[in-house]
Amino acid sequence: MNRRAEPEIMNGYKQVKAYAKADFNGPNQMFVDLFGENFPLFSSGRVLDLGCGPADIPLRFAGRYEQCRVVAMDGAERMLEFGRRNIAAQGMVERVKLVHGVLPHCELPENHFSAIISNSLLHHLLDPLALWQAISYCGKKDAAVLVMDLFRPSSETAARRIVEKYAAGEPEILREDFYNSLLAAYTEAEVRAQLDRIGLSNLQVRQVSDRHFAVVGLL
């Protein structure tokens, strides 16, 4: 099935509210656990989350790694507004900082972060190289990288099946977003080609669930 792009920035009020209220405990905890499994020696430093949404993953990350400070970036002011509230509610204002920014325009510091993480951003990007360029630019040498996203199923029917399996009871706006995201997602082979093109061939791509792949490695 060919890729069908979806809008990049998620800034519609209803869309953002439904996303921020949804239960992403399963995939978001899997993300933080995957980081722990792949980088068992990592414990401190500056972490960058690209496309942070309502900041659930940065908060989980800051909770697990108490000596880390997280900079969390997103292009949607509305998402950041929900993120701001979540961060304040968890008393993490000192350790999780939000930044507004739209890739490929990256005003983040060069060669600065010890870890760069990103969940479910890549499939939004019309130019996927923007994510890999930002990672190369902002990460220190040997920075830990974990990027997770959906991979594109073989057909629209397969995509509908995944939505039914994982979002049966969710509001329609969220189910439609999920479906559109599956159609906009990149395949593992496409991601491999992106990494090779940008000179990040050392990063590994592997399937980590029936709908997710992860890119893992050191810069």
Ligand X SMILES: C[S@@+](CC[C@H](N)C(=O)[O-])C[C@H]1O[C@@H](n2cnc3c(N)ncnc32)[C@H](O)[C@@H]1O
Positions touching ligand X (CB under 6 A) are 8-10, 24, 51-53, 56-57, 74-76, 79, 102-103, 119-121, 124-125
CA–CA dist 133, 39 (Å, integer): 22
CA–CA dist 60, 95 (Å, integer): 12
Please, what is the minimum distance in Å from the beta carbon of residue 219 to ligand X? 20
Cβ proximity of 27 and 119 under 8 Å: yes
CA–CA dist 7, 31 (Å, integer): 24
- Is residue 101 classed as helix, strand or coil in its secondary structure? coil
Looking at the Cβ atoms of 103 and 135, the one nearer to ligand X is 103
Please, what is the minimum distance in Å from the beta carbon of residue 70 to ligand X? 12
Looking at the Cβ atoms of 10 and 219, the one nearer to ligand X is 10
CA–CA dist 155, 32 (Å, integer): 30
Looking at the Cβ atoms of 52 and 167, the one nearer to ligand X is 52
Please, what is the minimum distance in Å from the beta carbon of residue 44 to ligand X? 22
Order the strands of the 113-119 sheet from edge to edge: 96-100, 67-74, 44-50, 113-119, 139-150, 212-218, 204-207
CA–CA dist 213, 165 (Å, integer): 18
CA–CA dist 6, 181 (Å, integer): 7
Please, what is the minimum distance in Å from the beta carbon of residue 57 to ligand X? 5
Please, what is the minimum distance in Å from the beta carbon of residue 203 to ligand X? 19
Closest residue to ligand X, judged by C-beta, is: 53
Looking at the Cβ atoms of 57 and 116, the one nearer to ligand X is 57
Buried/exposed code over 107-123 (b: 16+ C-beta within 10 A; e: otherwise) = ebeeebbbbbbbbbbbb
Cβ proximity of 1 and 154 under 8 Å: yes
Looking at the Cβ atoms of 104 and 202, the one nearer to ligand X is 104
Looking at the Cβ atoms of 65 and 82, the one nearer to ligand X is 82
Please, what is the minimum distance in Å from the beta carbon of residue 50 to ligand X? 7
